[in-house]
Copies of this chain bind each other. A is one copy, B any other.
Amino acid sequence: MARRSGRRPGNPDTRESILDAARSAFADKGFDGASIRGIATGAGVDPALVHHYFGTKNQLFLAAMNSPIDPGEIIAQALEGDRAQVGDRLVRTFLTIWDSPAGTAGVALLRSAVGSEWTARLFREFVVTQIMRRILPRLALDPAEAPLRISLVASQMAGLAMVRYVIKIEPMVSASPEALVAAVGPNVQRYISGDLGATFAVERD
């Protein structure tokens, strides 16, 4: 588990200024457009201090999102192994994280994501750069289909989180993780490796 704990160096006010500037930059310019230098300027500090406090741009983004885990790293682990069971493993990993104390932060992240256009944009950058972009090369998908396949997986996972942890509709709340793996895993598997229909194929031509 890539839990980001341990030492948190520096002045709390300075840290918060940097995180505020980072959120603005990532939401306004996107992850790729934002720079450590620009974020440092926004916070009125030296770029070296940003690196010193938070490490890489990726790590700064995870801190700015209050993400208790590095989703890209954890999902990468779930992708290893038999291709035909990857749907089950992704659902199992997802439930393990959300059922853990990290799930509270997940609910907060989802709440914040849905709160406004601005926070939705920040969350979209998070999902695209920290999750989708990092798992894409590991799945060896047809490049023309990969973005749709992965966003379909994201839709099922987002909905699972909504119904089980936010809206809390039974019996999804009290169902065992393994029951949900059996129910949802094959659907995720179809999004990754199944036939998504002729309409889609025609549309991409």
Contact = CB atoms under 8 A, between A and B. Distances in A.
Interface residues of A, number: 51
Given A110-B114, A114-B166, A198-B182, A155 B172 contact: yes
A152 B196 CA distance: 19
A6 interface: no
Interface in A80-135: 110-111, 113-116, 120, 123-124, 127-128, 132
A69 to B, nearest CB: 19
Contact of A159 (B123, B160, B169, B182): B160
A123 to B, nearest CB: 6
B151 A169 contact: yes
B162 A128 contact: no
A16 interface: no
A167 B156 contact: no
A61 interface: no
Interface stretch (A25-33, A39-47, A52-60, A186-194): A186-194
A191 B172 CA distance: 13
Contacts of A184: 152, 155
Contact of A182 (B123, B163, B179, B197): B197
B163 A162 contact: no
A113 B35 CA distance: 34
A13 interface: no
A102 to B, nearest CB: 18
Contacts of A116: 111
Given A114-B114, A120-B168, A169-B128, A154 B163 contact: yes
A202 to B, nearest CB: 9
16 contacts: A114-B115, A115-B115, A124-B168, A147-B171, A148-B179, A151-B163, A151-B172, A152-B184, A154-B159, A155-B164, A156-B156, A175-B203, A176-B199, A181-B197, A183-B191, A183-B197
